[in-house]
A and B are shown apart, each in its own frame.
Chain A
Amino acid sequence: MSKKEKKMNNMLTDTTKLDIPEEEIYTYQVEGLAAPHINKPYKNYNLKKAIFILVILVSVGLSMYFSLYILRSDAFTFKELADGNYQFTKFSNPGYIDELTIDYVMDITYPEGKAEEKNYITVTDAPDTLPKGPFTTEEELMAYHKYLLLQEQKAQQEAAKNRPNFEIVYDEEKPVTSIKEFAINGDGYIKTIYIGKNVTEIDGKAFYSCWALQKIIVDEENPNYCDIDGVLYSKDKKTVICYPCDRDQYLREKYSYPKEMWKWIPEDSNRNPLMTEEDYRPIFEKYSEKVMTYVIPPTVETVGELCFNYSNLATVYLPASLTRIENLGFFEMPNAKDFYTYTNKTVIDTSFEAAKGLDTYISLPEGLTYIGTDAFSYNKEMDYIYIPSSVEYIGHHAFWESCYESDGNIAGLKALNIGLGEEEFKAQVETGDQWTPIYNHNLLKKIPVNYGAQRITE
């Protein structure tokens, strides 16, 4: 055997021809391997079968028990802190809790008896039958929406009939002082969260992806936090922390809109338009103004991390005092089109009423210094942005996917308009990777950056 062949560890080296007698073909044992077991009974056959079945049953049973035990989630999980207080770490909604008060350690109990029937039906003047389009007035459209809402609420009422009788009990000996990140995550049921006076620390990501959340109400005695009409702020109102994902539902109820409205013309179930563009446009604009407008108070300096993500706002008024927009601050707001800055020192509230008569200019405020990563990502309706000369940091992917190609043209954000000249900008502003968005992914085409741009006036 050559030296090269010797190196071949996996080559056949033993070429012995086996001489297997005919009567031993099913019993012949190759050296180093187990003996064949063919056409002969196994020893202790029945015992082995019994052991086999037992092992399978026990292992499956144990696995299912432990797996299901682990997967079972307590509705509320708390962690005791060093100071004897508690941190709210995890909430797992059994599917019927839509309001939550966080102040003390709590648990869910199930008293005997039937659950009190909850009245979901709030529509009072819905028509008896589904109105048929086309409609020309807002009243007709609202009647149509009311009918649909009534049917939904009847279904909800029916579904809730089998709800268990539950009660949330609080242990007032155990105050909750902090809420951990992702404490309520991906919940689809919670509509209102009440924050008690004991809670002094709320992580900005505490209420992540709470799709049904309409309001966060804070106890007036709370030393660190407050709310303005259901939006969570720091007590000094310098930071806006969380704008609930489904706050527009609350606003719809407030302004008597039975159903959500979209910028495109409503259709019936057969996809026939219910109104003409001409009739629908002013109705939608009024709706958008009332439900999809938000004025951030003039005290605010920081928009918190993930603060406005997924909110259904079309117009946002930013105060001139704003200096920081944290990571994902205005992330994925599918209808966000206009950002204005206002210079007034006081506003009456945060609603559309407050927006009337404000002294505004378009886009981000002069004085803004920090734009976090993905701050405006996935806002494809936004068509203009002006980055003021005061900006010092723009995080990676800050405007990512805010533009796209449509019929060969750039749609959405068409350019990044920058107050500073190119050289000044490069010297003064730290930028993360891909801060300029791509509108054509196949050819990696980015939208233009206009240095030394002038802010447009409407």
Chain B
Amino acid sequence: MAKVNKESLSKFFTNVKTHWKTPAEGNYVPFKEYKDIFIAVGSNYTASKVLEYIYFATGCFLIMHHYKLPYLTFSIISIINMPLGYVTALIWWFVCDNLGFLPGKTEKKLYTVYVSMIAFGLALILFDASTLFDPNSKFIIYLNSLEGMSATACFKVFGTHFLYSGWVGARNIFWRKKLIPKFGRYKYSLYSDVIPKCIVVILIGWLPIYEITDVSTRVWAANLLFAVYGVFGFGNVIETTTQSISPNVSERILVRTYPVKLSHFLHTIMTIILPAVVGTLKNGWADINLFRWVIPVAFISCAVLTMIFSSRIKERIPQPPLEKKVNIKFWDGMFGVLHNKYRWINTMVGLIDSLGNGMLAFTSILYLYTFRLAGLPYSILTLLISFAGTPPDLLTPYFLKRFSYKQIMIFYQLTRGIGNGALVLAIWFCGENLVLCGTLCVIVMFLMEMTKTVPTSAGHDMNVRINDYQMYLSGERLESFSGIFGWFTGPITSFVGLIIPLLLLSYGFNSNWDILFLDEARLKIVVVPLIIDVVGFFLMTIPYIFWDYDTNKHNKVMQVLKRRAEVAEKQALEKGEDLSGGYTG
């Protein structure tokens, strides 16, 4: 045995040495690129996780401890932004589906639209448009009555959204066209965004906007700052790039299994280090130095590593030239996705899930206000809970074979409902004993995390199958057009999502999280939304009852798709046309 192991190890090392710079026959990725993938994906993933500490919502520590913005104001801003969001989404789909390559006239028209939006947005930000109205008019009085807002702030928030949409839209066309041919469809965004992102990450902590005393001024200024922050992305794109790292499917799986999965270890280290560093700060999570030093240093270090090691990672998916990508007509795309029953099931689930929108993160309350955790204990508990999903992950293939997706998803929603119910009971009956209550909550959360892994994998697979079904139904996967469901659900979710914030407001939660130090206030603020969530989880089982897309049906769909590809290939060969990008399985 030892001999076999020694031999295979030696063979492995020889193989690595031989194919360090040039890949083996039939493969496309040299081992040197494995090393780059390991470091680049690890640092890119970690950087994107570090950025999750900065977001424009009440749960962000910067908003929680420094900006102290009224809770309902975030809902108001999203409602102000909603109509424009519909228009910009349309243009966005159009540009994205064409990867930035547009006919000259269309490109000019879009630039004109975007530049006008920027100019209009800037005008609204720089000048106070509310002065154009009678201050005693119903409209201005109404705007002033919005929580945390004033008429001036409303116009400036509106202007900010114009500025943001125009700026993002124009950049989208400009950088896609300029950088995609050189860096590929995923990686390009790192090159356009890394420097401005680093600058804004530094500015977020150092600009003393949170010291503005007037709430409504602080609101619009913070909204502007976070909008600028949002213009530049630094998402987990290198990992996405590895999805097309090789045309060889088994090599692709190998890359995604080893260097990619192992690279997440860097994030695990960061999960330990960052809270430990925070534990040494005088004011812990409430210390502004977290945003002035800790997060910028962590992010910039990871960003630099990403940029150094990502340069040699290549996209190698066979596809037609980008400029020749087939377009689908707008309305056909719309109706195509609306005919997909399974997308409706997912939409209904999402809609019911919105009952829990606006709820404060239970873990934040448990860790920070019940347990008062900081430093290493915080890291360890977070790791412990997140580790709970790992052992069941190893059994995922068995569960996916043993149970139907319908069973798995119904089980998932039921466990969520029961788990949250158990949390409610623990808080209700043992709330006064912090240690006992906290321990019970951690055990329940651990179990909930354990039961989450398999349904999560099933959910991903279900989405892939839904796309296959869409292809059978419409001849295209229509992934972008599936966004249309958001058009229907958006208005409802934004309305339903106000239930919990309004309830929390009546329990004393507004802009100051310290209210959670009061036991009786904490009880109401946590328990009532959890109960609403429990109801939501039980209701979410209903749509899944209609899920009848089983493995046999999917197999038949795949046979149809394969047959179509074969026929298309045959017809193309008969006509002597180019076959690049075709794949018959």
A residues lining the B interface (CB < 8 Å): 7-18, 20, 22, 25-26, 28, 30-34, 36-39, 42, 45, 48-49, 52, 55-56, 59-60, 62-64, 66-68, 70-75, 90, 92, 94-96, 110-113, 115, 162-165, 181-182, 185-186, 188-189, 205, 208-209, 211-212, 305-306, 309, 327-328, 331-332, 373-374, 377, 380, 396-397, 400-401, 404-406, 432-434, 440-444
Contacts and interface: CB of A to CB of B under 8 A. Distances in A.
Contacts of B434: 396, 432-434
A164 B144 contact: yes
Contact of B560 (A28, A92, A94): A28
Nearest to B519: A373
Contacts of A70: 495, 498, 502
B204 to A, nearest CB: 21
B572 to A, nearest CB: 14
B145 A94 contact: yes
Q: Return the 5 tightest CB-CB contacts between A and B, nearest first.
A: A63-B491, A441-B375, A186-B510, A441-B279, A442-B375
A332 B514 CA distance: 10
Interface of B: 68, 70, 72, 75-76, 79, 82-83, 86, 128, 130-131, 135-136, 140-142, 144-147, 150, 152, 213-216, 276, 279-280, 282-284, 331-332, 334-336, 339, 341, 372-378, 400-405, 407, 433-435, 469, 472-475, 487-488, 490-492, 494-495, 498, 502, 505-508, 510-512, 514-515, 517-519, 548-553, 555-557, 559-560, 563-564, 567
Contacts of B519: 327, 373
Given A63-B494, A164-B140, A328-B518, 18 more contacts: A10-B403, A28-B560, A30-B472, A37-B473, A38-B475, A42-B332, A42-B335, A67-B79, A67-B494, A94-B150, A164-B135, A186-B510, A188-B213, A189-B215, A209-B511, A209-B512, A328-B517, A397-B372
11 contacts: A9-B404, A13-B552, A34-B473, A37-B336, A60-B82, A71-B498, A94-B150, A209-B512, A380-B282, A380-B283, A441-B373
A25 to B, nearest CB: 5
B141 A164 contact: yes
B397 to A, nearest CB: 11
B338 to A, nearest CB: 8
A52 B487 CA distance: 11
Given A63-B492, A73-B145, A208 B515 contact: yes
Nearest to B215: A188
Nearest to B78: A67
A95 B150 contact: yes
Contact of B557 (A30, A64, A67): A30
Given A33-B557, A36-B473, A115-B135, A74 B517 contact: no
A18 B213 contact: no
Most-contacted residue by chain A among B128, B150, B405, B472 (CB, 10 A): B472
A59 B141 contact: no
Contact of A60 (B150, B491, B505): B491
Given A38-B474, A39-B475, A380-B282, A433 B375 contact: no
B559 A20 contact: yes
A427 to B, nearest CB: 21
A37 B213 CA distance: 59
B79 A9 contact: no
Contacts of A96: 144
A37 B469 CA distance: 12
A301 B545 CA distance: 63
Nearest to B287: A404
B214 A188 contact: yes
A54 B75 CA distance: 25
Contacts of B512: 186, 208-209
A142 B76 CA distance: 42
A331 B514 contact: yes
Given A18-B556, A71-B147, A48 B335 contact: yes
B508 A208 contact: yes
Contacts of B373: 441
B552 A72 contact: no
A309 B518 CA distance: 12
Contacts of A39: 475
Given A188-B214, A441-B284, A9 B402 contact: yes
Most-contacted residue by chain B among A49, A55, A188 (CB, 10 A): A188
B495 A67 contact: yes
A111 B141 CA distance: 12
Nearest to B284: A441
A74 B284 contact: no
A401 B286 CA distance: 11
A92 B145 contact: yes
B552 A12 contact: yes
Contacts of A374: 517
A208 to B, nearest CB: 6
A37 B553 CA distance: 18
